[in-house]
Amino acid sequence: MDPAPTDLYSLTQPELRSLVGSWGLSPVHAARIWRYLYLGLASSFGEFGTLPPRVRDRLAAETRIGNLPVATETESNDGFTRKFLLGLGDGERIETVLMRYTGRATACVSSQAGCAMGCVFCATGQMGYRRNLSTAEIVAQVVHVARILGAAGEPRRLRNVVFMGMGEPLQNYSAVMKAASILLDPSGLGLSAERITLSTVGVAPGIRRMADEASPVRLAVSLHAATQEGRLALIPVARKWPLDDLMDACRHYCSTLGRRILFELTLIDGRNDSEEDAHAVGRLIRGLPAQVNLIPLNPTPGYAGAPAANEAARRFQKILSDGYGLRSTVRQRRGIDIAAGCGQLATPD
C-alpha cells in the first residue's frame, strides 16, 4: 500500500526543501511551492501554475494540501466576529474564530479537539477531550482565515494569531510550536513573534520548556484567582500544577527570556471580582513584568455563574494600577451572540 500522502501544511520550509530534494528534483522548487501555499494561499495543485509539470505531478502523487472543510459558518450581528466549524479527516470538528474589531485581523485557533483540563466555566472543558491537533491542522486554520481575508480584499490583514481556541496548547507542545514556526516564516505568512500568543491554563512544565527553548511565542497565563483554593475551585488541574509551582515557572520564564506575561482572569460576579481578590492578584504578581487581561465571564451551557459587573471590573483595574502599578485591560465582549467568545467554543456530538 502507498504511504499516506504528506500534508504540506505539516512541513517547515527546510523540510519541504529536503522532501523535494529526496525526489531527485532541484530543491529550488521548494521556495516556489512555499509561496504558492502561503502567499498565494493555493488550495489545490491546479493553482501551482508556473511549476514544471514533473514537479507538480510528483507533488500531486505524494502530498496533499490539508484544507479543512467548513461545516458551518456564523457571523456576529455587529459583523466583527466570524466563527467557523471546521471538519477534520477523522470526523472530529473544531472551531476557529476570525476577529477584526481592531482594524487588523486576529485568528483565534484551536490546538486540540475538546480539552481535558475541565475548567468549570468553559464550554470546551465541558465537552471533554477528544484529541490533539496535528501541526497541519493548526496551520490549516490560519490559512483558512487568511483566505477569508483575501477574498474580502484584505490579504495582508492577518496580524495576530492567538492560541485561545479549543484546547490547552501546552498539552500539545510540539505540534503547536512547529505550527508557530511555519506561521513565522518570513517568506510565507510572515507573522511576527510578538503577534502570536499562546494562552495556557497553567501547565508549569510547558512554561519552563518555553523559557528553556526560547520559544518566540508570547505567553498568556489563565490565573483566575490568586490563591490555590480559589484556583482549584475553577480549574481542577490546579491540583497537578499548584499555584506556587506555576508562579515559579512564570518567574523562570520572565527572567530567562526578559519578557512579559499576560495574566488572564475570567471575572465571575461574586466569585473572584471583589476588592480583596484584586489586592491578592496585585500582591501575587507584583514584581513580575506583567499585564492583566480581565475577561467578564461569557455564558456557557454548563455553568450558572454571571459575569462581573462593569463597575467591579473597573474597580479591579483601579486597585491593580493604583496599588501595584499593574496595567490591565478589560476584554471587549464580542461574538457572544454566536458563542464565539472566550470559553464558548464547543462542537456538538
User: Smallest distance from the beta carbon of 349 to ligand SF4, in angstroms?
Assistant: 17
Q: Report if residue 168 touches ligand SF4, rule: CB under 6 A.
A: yes
User: Smallest distance from the beta carbon of 267 to ligand SAH, in angstroms?
Assistant: 8
Measured CA to CA, the distance from residue 192 to residue 230 in angstroms comes to 36
Residue 308 interface partner, choices ligand SAH, ligand SF4, none, CB cut-off 5-8 Å depending on type: none
Measured from the CB atom, the residue of 134 and 266 that comes closer to ligand SAH is: 266
Q: Helices (DSSP H) in the chain: which residue ranges? A: 13-22, 28-38, 53-62, 123-127, 135-151, 173-184, 204-212, 228-234, 243-257, 275-285, 310-324
Q: Is 305 helix (H, G, I), strand (E, B) or coil?
A: coil
C-alpha cell read off for 253 = 520564564
User: Smallest distance from the beta carbon of 228 to ligand SF4, in angstroms?
Assistant: 17
Q: Report if residue 169 touches ligand SF4, rule: CB under 6 A.
A: no
Tell me the site size for ligand SF4, rule CB under 6 A: 11
Q: Report if residue 81 touches ligand SF4, rule: CB under 6 A.
A: no
Helices and strands (DSSP H and E) totals, the chain:
11, 14
* Catalytic hit among 115, 122, 254, 342: 342
Residue 264 interface partner, choices ligand SAH, ligand SF4, none, CB cut-off 5-8 Å depending on type: ligand SAH
Q: Single out the residue of 122, 254, 265, 313 in contact with ligand SF4 (rule: CB under 6 A).
A: 122
Q: Single out the residue of 82, 106, 108, 125 in contact with ligand SF4 (rule: CB under 6 A).
A: 125
User: What are the CA-CA distances from residue 143 to residues 43, 108, 140, 156 (Å)?
Assistant: 9, 12, 5, 12
Measured from the CB atom, the residue of 40 and 118 that comes closer to ligand SF4 is: 118
Q: Single out the residue of 119, 161, 182, 221 in contact with ligand SF4 (rule: CB under 6 A).
A: 119
Contact 42, 36 (CB under 8 A): yes
Q: Report if residue 115 touches ligand SF4, rule: CB under 6 A.
A: yes
Measured from the CB atom, the residue of 81 and 199 that comes closer to ligand SF4 is: 199
User: What are the CA-CA distances from residue 290 to residues 144, 168, 192, 325 (Å)?
Assistant: 32, 21, 20, 10
- Specify whether 342 is catalytic: yes
User: What are the CA-CA distances from residue 168 to residues 12, 31, 118, 303, 317 (Å)?
Assistant: 23, 33, 10, 19, 27
Tell me the site size for ligand SAH, rule CB under 6 A: 16
- Specify whether 47 is catalytic: no
| Phi-psi map region of 176: left, alpha, beta (phi>0 left; psi -120 to 50 alpha) | alpha
Is residue 338 packed enough to be buried (19+ CB in 10 Å), middle (13-18) or exposed (0-12)?
middle
C-alpha closest to that of 13 among 214, 181, 144: 181
Q: Which residues bind ligand SAH (CB under 6 A)?
A: 121-122, 164, 168, 199-201, 222, 264, 266, 295, 297-298, 300, 342-343
Q: Which residues bind ligand SF4 (CB under 6 A)?
A: 115, 117-119, 122, 124-125, 167-168, 201, 343
* Residues with active-site annotation: 95, 342
